[in-house]
Structure 1
Amino acid sequence: MAEIRIEFDVPAEMRDGTVLRADVYRPGGTGPWPVLLSRLPYGKQTPMMGVVLDPLAAARRGFLVVIQDTRGRFASEGEWEPWTYEESDGYDTVRWAAALPDSNGAVGMIGGSYFGNTQWMAALSKPPELKAIAPLITWSDPDDGLWTRGGAIELGITVPWSLVQGADTLMRRHRTDLGGLVSSITGLVQDLDGLASGGYGELPAGRFPAFTRHDLPELGYERSRREPDWARSCTVAGRHDEVDLPTFQVGGWYDIFSQGTLDNFTAMRRAGRSATLIMGPWTHTNWQHVVGDVNFGFGAHSDFMGLRGRVHDMQFDWFQRTLGDGEAQEPDTGTVLLFVMGINQWREETEWPLSRAADTDFHLRADGRLTQEPPSTAERAEEFTYDPMDPVPTTGGALLMSDEFRPGPLDQTAVEGREDVLVFTTEPLIEDVEVTGRVRVVLFAATDGPSTDWVARLCDVDEDGVSRNVADGIVRVRAATPGEAAEHVVDLWSTSIVFRAGHRIRVQVTSSNFPRWDRNLNTGEPEETATTVRVARQQVFHDPARPSRIVLPVVPPA
């Protein structure tokens, strides 16, 4: 297999006559070979491909690899509309790839993020030659991590993603007008460079001015509000029963789509399908062992996996079992491999979520305490002022933003020193406490206006007093009764971490995390038109009738 043949820009005609182009990597020797197909909008030879699919390595393993530019991108024809054509184009491309010379007729799909979703869309279209998919670091419900989270706009990813993709759009638009091209690209780069210094703050957030300024397609939030039915074009949630294929899913605890990966896995298992899951301590683009401020140990690196070998090879092994010689095979039932932070170990499981984890309440208490004991007497409510013009800055987390905002676990000292951030902390732990599963905060709170946000964050405080974020979430309250306490549930998604003996568990409560999520302007106006700002007075209650608390899935010691 020393000789790998590569064909560039191989055309495939879609049902409407649009031609999409792909690079095809053929193994040396004699076939036929099973096909690995990836469809992405970022360019067939982009360096990011190597994170989720090394085509040369795949060809050496005996796969015929097809990497295609999606419609309207780079070498492919058509107009660029994120998501719109991925189901139909996915169907047509799978059928085309299965019929390529030297193909054995069995197709598997591979890729992450956008091109994790193109797999789901192709699978939902049911081309008969598609036998397996490996959707990595991708979502299930776009309104839970892609477009919005808890009702707030995922501004952090929406703006830079849409502007970066706009570069190819502008080059196509001005291909015969050098002056127009230079001017438009210059303006686009200026907007990208200025995001962290103020560009993210443009209003209205729900009809972002930069997209109009450059006349660019955006990630999909704005279109999905105008055309709710169109949102189905990239929604997997609620449709898993339609996918009768084995799946291999990889995610990271600090990936912006971490919960989507878990939700896709659990839904496929619930539907009775073979499903494999790997969750590392990784971000969306960093699958190494140093993430944020933390070194999780060399074994956490995706090239080592605690001496199990490369994630790439684990995927290839799975595809070789699943695709076989083109005949349907009975796949294994799937496995679960979790990285447990804190003790920094990989652990094999047979299920997610873990049935042995018990939801355990830790109560927000007076004087910044966090205790398992609920309040037995009245405790004075905590108060703070939330000013949308001075929001709490995004500091770490499961995010994907402009490069000034690092994802992962980061020191929270500056955040916790603000007057608009409430902090509740346990005493130093006597023994290790493992938290593996979905985390939520039940908050009894009031605001003095018609609308506001509540943000909660779980942190690990080490022996030196350094607090680092583990998981967080937001909930947008659109119809508040001013001054009236109400119960709000903030979904912090899922994690796996051991809070070591001597560490402390901490919860932050505030009303913003900007620019990860757009600011609630506290007026109740729709995000698509809101530009007026008001300052809100916030109250958080913790008394016997209103027991604010964090609910942690605690795993008992083995």
Structure 2
Amino acid sequence: MIETTETMTTRDGVELVATLWRPDVDGRFPVLLSRTPYGRAVEGPGFHLDVPRLVAAGYAVVLQDVRGTGASQGEFRFISGEAADGYDAVRWAATAPWSDGNVGMYGDSYLGITQLLAAQERPEGLRAIAPHVSPAGLYACVYQPGGVPNLNIILTVSAMVLALGELDRRISLGTATQEDKDRYVAAIGLPYQLGERLQELSERLPLSDQPLLADLVPFYAAWMSHPDPRDPLWRGGAVDHSRIEVPALVSTGWYDYFRDASIEHYERLRGESRLIVGPWTHFSHDRDICGRDYGDQASHEAVDWTGVHLDWFGHWLRGAPMRDRARVKIFVMGDDAWHEEDDWPIARARRVPYHLGFDGTLSTRPGAGGEAGFVSDPGDPVPTLGGAVMTFDAFGPLDQRPLDERGDVLRHLSEPLGARVEVSGEVELVARVSSTAPSTDVTAKLIDVHPDGRAELLTDGVARVEDLEPGEVREVTVRLGAIANAFRPGHRIRIDVAGSNFPRFGRNPEKGTTTLHGPSYVVLPTIP
């Protein structure tokens, strides 16, 4: 395997630097291209395939620093500048002397959306893409629909990834020193007080007031100050699926914070695209997530993640027969097994309403009227416990029982199930609410309660209700997103409703009592 450093020039004269790995023989090869802001280490963030194996299979593999990061010139334009540069990079890779003119793109997270934005520009030579855990666009990285900040994600990424990357870049350019980086590392509590320090940062108000990030990640303050998706700040950062013509191997995990965005990519692309969803988080692809073991079929190693991509790109870049023709492969938790489906959403799924009883019950039988309330207090929010969050020790399917003593959570529990119930599809809560405050948030969780009492978090969501009049009862839909879980016999289905889930979601600044009115219900897509 030969490794070289390669440089290309964009249409506006900016030099972008890449590492090239290729077979140690003369010739031209199909190219697998990734574009990253996280550095060009062969095992770096967002780059989870086996490069020596790809090269041994006859590919040239290129990893490029995006504009304004690593060794590349220019100003970093987080997501919003990647379409044009992606087009130029594909054309450069397709016409390089070591290229046979066929280019595929792959990679995780930011490396995923750079593929989609390049593909919408339709560069000649691009044959297929494989975005994994990819966001929908710039605004969707930062906010939930309705302007609720994805605080845990965007603050952690800014403080832990973007800021450190910018410091490394400045050190390489001679505009910062190792001492500058050491001071920053100490300020954010690495390694032992990181969780505490990030919690302190998340509690600062207003959200835009982050002195530690002001110089290193200057666009963070602008993001937090512009929650309206129509603001010009967000232009250029969204994927136009209607312009993408190449097939996509889309993949994600049930505990990935870009899960629903990834699934939407597949749904809007269709055609020859494929979807894979495993029991993974954004950054963990092991069989075990925080003590929950999903079995020997669950990990990237078990499914041969590099082999999956070799099969995909071998077909689209080389014309080889594709061994795995499954259109949709999902890992159904509970069964802890892979299922193949014809499409997503699953056509045979029945959208079954489970009604929230105000005595704490959850049933398919329509409930009577009634009401129950909880206090929503930004000074004492319900703490995040697991789920699709960016932490390093408490994420995914965590037991929710430590929160059971809180009086500001409404819990609705089904009877023990007499038979297996598979819920595979998008879950949503339809709630009728009023509040003593003019604005309130409604958060919801879907939980699998085991016979031993373990309350395993499956998915969650939030909706913000604004401009409420006194006494007004308004219907709100809370999207909890997609899931595939088999509730086993003897298990119970539980829905928790509250006014916060912090710091996963930013707090509503209003304090008040929120009342949940009947009829309210959760819709579970059930597989007969």
What TM-score, normalized by structure 2, do the two folds share? 0.93
Q: Pick from 310, 315, 326: which aligns with 1:321?
A: 315
User: Which whole-Å CA distance do the structure 1 matches of 2:152 and 2:454 have between them?
Assistant: 26
Deviations 1:207-245 (A, max 9, x none): 545433656333973486588345243312xx2121111
Contact 2:334 2:488 in 1 (8 A): yes
**Is 1:235 matched with 2:235?**
no
Q: Which runs of 5+ in 2 are unaligned?
A: none
Contact 1:113 1:136 in 2 (8 A): yes
Contact 2:113 2:137 in 1 (8 A): no
User: Which whole-Å CA distance do the structure 1 matches of 2:262 and 2:341 have between them?
Assistant: 16
Letter in 1 for 2:237: C
User: How do 1:133-152 and structure 2 match up within 5 A?
Assistant: 133-144=129-140, 146-152=142-148
Partner of 2:514 in structure 1? 538
Partner of 2:285 in structure 1? 287
User: How do 1:123-202 and structure 2 match up within 5 A?
Assistant: 123-144=119-140, 146-164=142-160, 165-173=162-170, 175-176=173-174, 182-183=179-180, 185-187=182-184, 189-191=186-188, 193=194, 194-202=196-204
Partner of 2:526 in structure 1? 554
User: Which whole-Å CA distance do the structure 2 matches of 1:159 and 1:98 have between them?
Assistant: 37
User: Which whole-Å CA distance do the structure 2 matches of 1:332 and 1:254 have between them?
Assistant: 25
Secondary structure (helix, strand or coil) at the match of 1:278 reads strand
- Give aligned-pair identity as a percent: 35
CA shift in 2, pair 1:49/1:460, >3 Å: same
Deviations 1:508-534 (A, max 9, x none): 000111111110011xxxxxxxxxxxx
User: Which whole-Å CA distance do the structure 2 matches of 1:178 and 1:112 have between them?
Assistant: 29
User: Which whole-Å CA distance do the structure 1 matches of 2:523 and 2:203 have between them?
Assistant: 33
Secondary structure (helix, strand or coil) at the match of 1:198 reads helix
Alpha-carbon RMSD across the aligned residues, in angstroms, is: 2.4
User: Which whole-Å CA distance do the structure 1 matches of 2:434 and 2:481 have between them?
Assistant: 23
CA shift in 2, pair 1:374/1:325, >3 Å: closer
Secondary structure (helix, strand or coil) at the match of 1:300 reads coil
CA shift in 2, pair 1:50/1:284, >3 Å: closer
**Is 1:510 matched with 2:507?**
no
Contact 1:441 1:551 in 2 (8 A): yes
Contact 1:437 1:495 in 2 (8 A): yes
User: Which whole-Å CA distance do the structure 2 matches of 1:225 and 1:146 have between them?
Assistant: 9
Deviations 1:521-558 (A, max 9, x none): 11xxxxxxxxxxxx31111112xxxx1111000100xx
Partner of 1:436 in structure 2? 424
Q: Pick from 449, 459, 468: which aligns with 2:437?
A: 449
Deviations 1:138-175 (A, max 9, x none): 12254445433553101101112112312232344465
CA shift in 2, pair 1:223/1:83, >3 Å: farther
Give 1:187 shift: 3.5
Give 1:195 shift: 3.1
Give 1:299 shift: 0.8
CA shift in 2, pair 1:215/1:266, >3 Å: closer
**Is 1:501 matched with 2:489?**
yes
User: How do 1:408-419 and structure 2 match up within 5 A?
Assistant: 408-419=396-407
Secondary structure (helix, strand or coil) at the match of 1:58 reads helix
Give 1:294 shift: 1.2
Partner of 1:532 in structure 2? none
CA shift in 2, pair 1:89/1:108, >3 Å: same
Q: Pick from 491, 498, 520: which aligns with 2:508?
A: 520
Deviations 1:229-280 (A, max 9, x none): 45243312xx2121111111111000001111111111111xxx21111100
Give 1:27 shift: 1.4
Give 1:389 shift: 1.0
Contact 1:370 1:425 in 2 (8 A): yes
Secondary structure (helix, strand or coil) at the match of 1:53 reads coil
Q: Pick from 392, 400, 403: which aligns with 1:403?
A: 392
Contact 1:249 1:265 in 2 (8 A): yes
Partner of 1:389 in structure 2? 379
Contact 1:36 1:65 in 2 (8 A): yes
CA shift in 2, pair 1:102/1:172, >3 Å: closer
CA shift in 2, pair 1:209/1:299, >3 Å: same
Contact 1:106 1:325 in 2 (8 A): no
Q: Pick from 82, 86, 90: which aligns with 1:86?
A: 82
User: How do 1:473-512 and structure 2 match up within 5 A?
Assistant: 473-512=461-500
CA shift in 2, pair 1:60/1:459, >3 Å: same
Letter in 1 for 2:2: R
Letter in 1 for 2:295: G
Contact 2:432 2:476 in 1 (8 A): yes
Partner of 2:265 in structure 1? 264
Letter in 1 for 2:201: G
Partner of 1:531 in structure 2? none
Partner of 1:527 in structure 2? none
Secondary structure (helix, strand or coil) at the match of 1:303 reads helix
User: How do 1:35-54 and structure 2 match up within 5 A?
Assistant: 35-45=31-41, 47-49=43-45, 52-54=48-50
User: Which whole-Å CA distance do the structure 2 matches of 1:52 and 1:459 have between them?
Assistant: 30
Partner of 1:529 in structure 2? none
Partner of 1:530 in structure 2? none
Partner of 2:360 in structure 1? 368
Contact 2:294 2:333 in 1 (8 A): yes
Contact 1:144 1:150 in 2 (8 A): no
Deviations 1:310-368 (A, max 9, x none): 02111111101101179xx9999861111010011101111100010000011110221
CA shift in 2, pair 1:51/1:184, >3 Å: closer
Partner of 1:526 in structure 2? none
Greater Cα offset, 227-236 or 13-22: 227-236
**Is 1:13 matched with 2:2?**
no
Secondary structure (helix, strand or coil) at the match of 2:72 reads coil
User: Which whole-Å CA distance do the structure 1 matches of 2:527 and 2:16 have between them?
Assistant: 49
Contact 1:153 1:206 in 2 (8 A): no
User: Which whole-Å CA distance do the structure 2 matches of 1:258 and 1:100 have between them?
Assistant: 35
Contact 2:450 2:492 in 1 (8 A): yes
Letter in 1 for 2:353: D
Q: Pick from 305, 329, 347: which aligns with 1:311?
A: 305
What TM-score, normalized by structure 1, do the two folds share? 0.88
Q: Pick from 329, 340, 354: which aligns with 1:337?
A: 329
Letter in 2 for 1:14: T
CA shift in 2, pair 1:178/1:45, >3 Å: closer
Secondary structure (helix, strand or coil) at the match of 1:550 reads strand
Contact 2:329 2:341 in 1 (8 A): yes
User: Which whole-Å CA distance do the structure 2 matches of 1:448 and 1:65 have between them?
Assistant: 58
Contact 2:424 2:526 in 1 (8 A): yes
Greater Cα offset, 114-123 or 134-143: 134-143
Letter in 1 for 2:376: Y
Partner of 1:347 in structure 2? 339
Partner of 2:456 in structure 1? 468
CA shift in 2, pair 1:555/1:296, >3 Å: same
Deviations 1:170-219 (A, max 9, x none): 3444654666x624651464136353442210111255454336563339
Contact 1:274 1:333 in 2 (8 A): no
Give 1:483 shift: 3.3
Secondary structure (helix, strand or coil) at the match of 1:356 reads coil
Count residues with an aligned counterpart: 520
